[in-house]
Amino acid sequence: VTKGEQTREDIILKAVDVFNTKGYAASSISDIMAATGLQKGGIYNHFSSKEELSLAAFEHASGIVGQRMTDAIRSESNAVAKLVALITTFRMHVENPPFRGGCAVLNAAVESDYANPEFREHVCKVMDELRSLIIYVVNEGIKRRQIKPSVNSDYCATVFIATMEGGVMLSSLYRDSMYIDYSIHHLTEYIQTQLAL
Amino acid sequence: VTKGEQTREDIILKAVDVFNTKGYAASSISDIMAATGLQKGGIYNHFSSKEELSLAAFEHASGIVGQRMTDAIRSESNAVAKLVALITTFRMHVENPPFRGGCAVLNAAVESDYANPEFREHVCKVMDELRSLIIYVVNEGIKRRQIKPSVNSDYCATVFIATMEGGVMLSSLYRDSMYIDYSIHHLTEYIQTQLAL
Amino acid sequence: VTKGEQTREDIILKAVDVFNTKGYAASSISDIMAATGLQKGGIYNHFSSKEELSLAAFEHASGIVGQRMTDAIRSESNAVAKLVALITTFRMHVENPPFRGGCAVLNAAVESDYANPEFREHVCKVMDELRSLIIYVVNEGIKRRQIKPSVNSDYCATVFIATMEGGVMLSSLYRDSMYIDYSIHHLTEYIQTQLAL
Amino acid sequence: VTKGEQTREDIILKAVDVFNTKGYAASSISDIMAATGLQKGGIYNHFSSKEELSLAAFEHASGIVGQRMTDAIRSESNAVAKLVALITTFRMHVENPPFRGGCAVLNAAVESDYANPEFREHVCKVMDELRSLIIYVVNEGIKRRQIKPSVNSDYCATVFIATMEGGVMLSSLYRDSMYIDYSIHHLTEYIQTQLAL
DNA sequence: ACCGACGGGACCTCCCGTTGTT
DNA sequence: AACAACGGGAGGTCCCGTCGGT
């Protein structure tokens, strides 16, 4: 690992916090300078534009979200348990966040949806991956007779992500983990009463 | 209605579109000038700062959201029907939006939560009102023996808003009303199976 | 004449000096600010970019060059005298310049030829006009039997402009009007011995 | 020849193209990096500043111009033929250029005349050498009774260089060798009718 | 009530040159 | 001898808000 790669990683780590807290448009390179302790020349040596840094920061942040979901799935063997574990990871964005500012995917989705087509493409790709994770777990659960065969996995993924991201939004807004907990509770009940065999 | 008041209203209407599409921080007064056809002096005659205009635009937009929910509630007499009607109003942010850019409350919540304390206060107040609407309907439904007495109205309001706003987020991101429809379907089933007496 | 138009004209006048002295690429908006006494906002209110200001300055400067040539032609009635008067106007770029920095057309031509295609187009157009002036005078002179009918007006225009601009270049470089005087003398002799009937 | 000297030569060769095409002020070290394939450190190892590199590039380019003129003179024995050959070398800046961007001496003269006193000094020195070449040929021709004794060699040098550089300017601007050809034709006629014995 | 003109500053980008390292 | 990393700052553009005029 060269020094440059180390610095690049460090910039990304700090940038994730800044961008996810203030928003991409509202964050300035000066903010990144202050967060990293580097001067402009030192930052632009690693990223050719604010946009490129934004994307790198988003990829990093969304990678963490996806990684935690993947880890949660792997920690359980039963599909129902996997789904519960998966949902629970969303609590971390409030209780034990890997970075400040709430869920990076939610933030990026809301900021880019009608404003930044290119960024939106990246968010769509990440959201597709998150949805795919849930869809996969549900389908595997159906195969293994752990989840009802009538369940629509696409529908499930939508309901899960919508409810969780909505809960994160409320808890981020109110600074109160009650909202995400309610969302988790609701989905957990839904899983056990409607999905589980 | 004087000409000045008319102009003020017109500015707000155009500003709602601009702010809700691009975001508050990313929108400039130049954008508002272009949208209204007014010069800077014409705008600052009615609003002392971009922040004041932002707030006025948000109040206007969130007022529409609240109004439609209130109207939906009034259109029905049974609490269960009220809840279903209320939920359905969220589809308008995708199918028949009163302004561009998705749900103004969601957008403002996500943009302000960790970035703009003052704005966040306003969003909290609006969100409180939306939640109060649902809480009121649920509590009234319990009183009138239309909804199970064991139901926690606060919990309900959270689940409803989280799921709906999450669905709006997904549909805004993907530009596909399927996601909000799935959310509506899920909550409708939830209402009928878990809440209704 | 509004105040804005007055300011715009003033900016152009000052910008002509700056650009023609330092070159377009080497001149900064700060230079224009210092020359005009205006701040950036005051300048960008009249020109949307440095490029637009550059073009306006060039058009103004080249307009003066063309105007003086046109005036010289009008001051004489005989074609031979017109040509001599026309050539003599080039001395002003050294002796009595309307702006600092030498001949604006020469400077712009040399700076833009292989570097700035769009600017080059404008310079070509101006150079075409200067050449057309000479061509016209020669052709009229032939018609009126003041100039030999065998003379190629296109060739003449080229030789005139090449020699004069080359002389201006040398005098500008050496800060010595001797060079432009030699060029004028050479062309005057050429006119009287080769062109005049 | 060490590797370092080889690299230095290579940098100069590439720099001549860049500087002569874009201009000295408008060219950046990044441009030189791109042209040479070297990093910044590799360039600053051989030149202490952009200015030093600019001068080295100019000296190299103007050396080629002077060399070709010297070669042309040597290729002929008669002074009149020397002058014709000398003039013809200017066509190479359009037809068969040793580097891109037109005549380096003309470009440097126009860019530096009122903007860069130090650079201007160097251009003056080079221009003096070019003029001296012509003056020498004319004076020798007078001695050897090949050129009229009444001819002013200083005047001749001015007319030659002015006309040729003006022609190069026009051909560079219009991307058409016609203009330099006209200039050559004019001077050739001038030599044969006015100078030759 | 609205326009036009301007100040002053923030922002992104790029640039020159230095230093440590290989 | 060359690269990689960085500092510090200039440059062009845009932005917010003010003020005089109309």
Alpha helices for chain B (secondary structure H): 3-22, 29-36, 40-44, 50-74, 79-88, 104-112, 117-143, 153-174, 178-190
Confidence of residue C59 (pLDDT cuts 50, 70, 90): very high
- The nucleotide lying nearest B26 (C-alpha to C1') is F15
Rounded Cα–Cα distance for residues B103 and B110 (Å): 11
SS (H, E, C) chain C: CCHHHHHHHHHHHHHHHHHHHHCCCCCCHHHHHHHHCCCHHHHHCCCCCHHHHHHHHHHHHHHHHHHHHHHHHHCCCCHHHHHHHHHHHHHHHCCCCCCCCCCHHHHHHHHHCCCCHHHHHHHHHHHHHHHHHHHHHHHHHHHCCCECCCCCHHHHHHHHHHHHHHHHHHHHHHCCCHHHHHHHHHHHHHHHHHHEC
pLDDT at D3 over 90: no
Half-sphere exposure (CA, 13 Å, Cβ side) for D17?
A: 14
- C98 inside 8 A of chain D by CB: no
* pLDDT the model gives residue D85: 97
CA end-to-end span of chain C: 49
Of B13, B20, B90, which is closest to residue A111 (Cα–Cα)? B20
Q: For A51-100, write each residue's pLDDT tens digit.
A: 999 999 999 999 999 999 999 999 999 999 999 999 999 998 899 999 99
**Pick from A20, A112, A162: which is nearest to B163 by CB?**
A162
Reduce the DSSP state of residue A95 to 3 states and report it: coil
Rounded Cα–Cα distance for residues C19 and C23 (Å): 5
Reduced DSSP (H G I as helix, E B as strand, rest coil) percent helix, strand, coil of chain D, to 5: 75, 0, 25
Quote the percentage of chain C above a pLDDT of 70: 100
Q: Hey, what amino acid is at A14? A: K
Reduce the DSSP state of residue D147 to 3 states and report it: strand
Distance from residue A30 (CA) to nucleotide E10 (C1'), in Å?
Answer: 10
Q: For B20-72, write each residue's pLDDT tens digit.
A: 999 999 999 999 999 999 999 999 999 999 999 999 999 999 999 999 999 99
Place of tokens 């990440």: A126
Q: For A99-116, write each residue's pLDDT tens digit.
A: 999 999 999 999 999 999
Of A92, D158, B106, D27, which is closest to residue C26 (Cα–Cα)? D27
Rounded Cα–Cα distance for residues B90 and B65 (Å): 8
Question: What mean pLDDT is predicted for residues A119-143?
Answer: 98
Question: Beta carbon of B7 within 7 Å of strand E?
Answer: yes
Contact A102, B113 (CB under 8 A): yes
* pLDDT the model gives residue A93: 86
Would the CB atoms of D169 and C166 count as touching at under 8 Å?
Answer: yes
Residues linked to residue A147 through DSSP beta bridges, in sequence order: A196
* pLDDT the model gives residue B11: 98
- D182 inside 8 A of chain C by CB: yes
Contact A171, A177 (CB under 8 A): yes
Chain A hits for B169, CB-CB cut-off 8 Å, are 106, 109-110, 113, 162, 165-166, 169
Q: Hey, what amino acid is at D14? A: K
Would the CB atoms of A164 and B166 count as touching at under 8 Å?
Answer: yes
Quote the percentage of chain D above a pLDDT of 90: 97
Of D47, D92, D109, which is closest to residue D36 (Cα–Cα)? D47
pLDDT at D78 over 90: yes
Q: What are phi and psi of A147, to 5 degrees?
A: -130, 145
Q: Which residue is nearest to nucleotide E4 (CA to C1')?
A: C4
Question: What mean pLDDT is predicted for residues B65-92?
Answer: 96
Rounded Cα–Cα distance for residues C170 and D155 (Å): 12
**Pick from A25, A161, A182: which is nearest to B166 by CB?**
A161
Task: Find the range with the poorest average confidence among B184-188, C46-50, C90-94, C154-158.
Answer: C90-94
Rounded Cα–Cα distance for residues B30 and C123 (Å): 34
Confidence of residue B101 (pLDDT cuts 50, 70, 90): very high
Contact D68, D111 (CB under 8 A): no
Chain C hits for D158, CB-CB cut-off 8 Å, are 167, 170, 178-179, 182-183
Contact A115, B21 (CB under 8 A): yes
CB atoms inside a 10 Å sphere around CB A108: 29
Q: For B109-165, write each residue's pLDDT tens digit.
A: 999 999 999 999 999 999 999 999 999 999 999 999 999 999 999 999 999 999 999
pLDDT at C93 over 90: no
* pLDDT the model gives residue C84: 98
Which residues 37-66 of B interface with strand E at a CB distance below 7 A? 37-42, 45-46
- A179 inside 8 A of chain B by CB: yes
Place of tokens 């270049």: C169
Q: Residue D45 contacts by C-beta under 8 Å, 6 or more apart in sequence?
A: D4
Q: How far is CA A83 from the centre of its chain?
A: 16
Would the CB atoms of A107 and B110 count as touching at under 8 Å?
Answer: yes
Query: Which of B114, B128, B189 is the best mutation test for A, with the most CBs of A within 10 A?
Result: B114
**Pick from B23, B164, B166: which is nearest to A23 by CB?**
B23
Q: Spell A68-105 as b/e; 16+ CB within 10 A means b.
A: bbeebbeeeeebbbbbbbbbbbbbbbbeebbbebbbbb
Place of tokens 């302790």: A37
Alpha helices for D23-103 (secondary structure H): 29-36, 40-44, 50-74, 79-88
Confidence of residue C1 (pLDDT cuts 50, 70, 90): confident
Q: For A148-196, write each residue's pLDDT tens digit.
A: 999 999 999 999 999 999 999 999 999 999 999 999 999 999 999 999 9
Chain C hits for D124, CB-CB cut-off 8 Å, are 173-174
**Encoding tokens for residue D30?**
């990044």
- The nucleotide lying nearest C45 (C-alpha to C1') is E5
Would the CB atoms of D23 and C124 count as touching at under 8 Å?
Answer: no
Confidence of residue B93 (pLDDT cuts 50, 70, 90): confident
Question: What mean pLDDT is predicted for residues D139-164?
Answer: 98
pLDDT at D1 over 90: no
Of A59, A56, A191, which is closest to residue A129 (Cα–Cα)? A59
Reduce the DSSP state of residue D196 to 3 states and report it: strand
pLDDT at B4 over 90: no
Rounded Cα–Cα distance for residues C48 and B124 (Å): 41
pTM of the model: 0.94
Residue of A nearest to B128 (CA): A174
Contact A19, A27 (CB under 8 A): yes
Rounded Cα–Cα distance for residues A13 and A18 (Å): 9
* pLDDT the model gives residue C117: 97
pLDDT at D93 over 90: no
Residues linked to residue A196 through DSSP beta bridges, in sequence order: A147
- D69 inside 8 A of chain C by CB: no
pLDDT at C163 over 90: yes
- The nucleotide lying nearest B28 (C-alpha to C1') is F15
Contact A69, A93 (CB under 8 A): no
Chains D and A touching, counted as 3 or more CB pairs less than 8 Å apart:
no
Distance from residue C39 (CA) to nucleotide F14 (C1'), in Å?
Answer: 13
**Encoding tokens for residue D189?**
């006629």
Rounded Cα–Cα distance for residues C90 and C106 (Å): 11
Rounded Cα–Cα distance for residues C61 and C67 (Å): 10
Contact D54, D19 (CB under 8 A): yes
Give burial (CB, 10 Å; 0-12/13-18/19+) of A140.
Answer: middle
pLDDT at A49 over 90: yes
Q: For D27-44, write each residue's pLDDT tens digit.
A: 999 999 999 999 999 999
Residue C135, CA distances (Å) to A23, A93, C88, C132 in order: 63, 78, 17, 5
- B100 inside 8 A of chain A by CB: yes
Question: What mean pLDDT is predicted for residues B174-197?
Answer: 97
Chains B and A touching, counted as 3 or more CB pairs less than 8 Å apart:
yes
Question: Beta carbon of A2 within 7 Å of strand E?
Answer: no
Residues linked to residue B196 through DSSP beta bridges, in sequence order: B147
Cα-Cα-Cα-Cα dihedral sign, residues D23, D29, D34, D36: positive
**Encoding tokens for residue D7?**
């690299």
Rounded Cα–Cα distance for residues B18 and B24 (Å): 8
pLDDT at A27 over 90: yes
pLDDT at C91 over 90: yes
Of C40, B115, C41, B50, which is closest to residue A31 (Cα–Cα)? B115
Confidence of residue B1 (pLDDT cuts 50, 70, 90): confident
Question: Beta carbon of A40 within 7 Å of strand E?
Answer: yes
Q: Hey, what amino acid is at C69? A: M
CA of B40 to nearest chain A CA: how many angstroms apart? 22
CA of D1 to nearest chain C CA: how many angstroms apart? 34
Residues linked to residue C196 through DSSP beta bridges, in sequence order: C147
Quote the percentage of chain A above a pLDDT of 90: 98
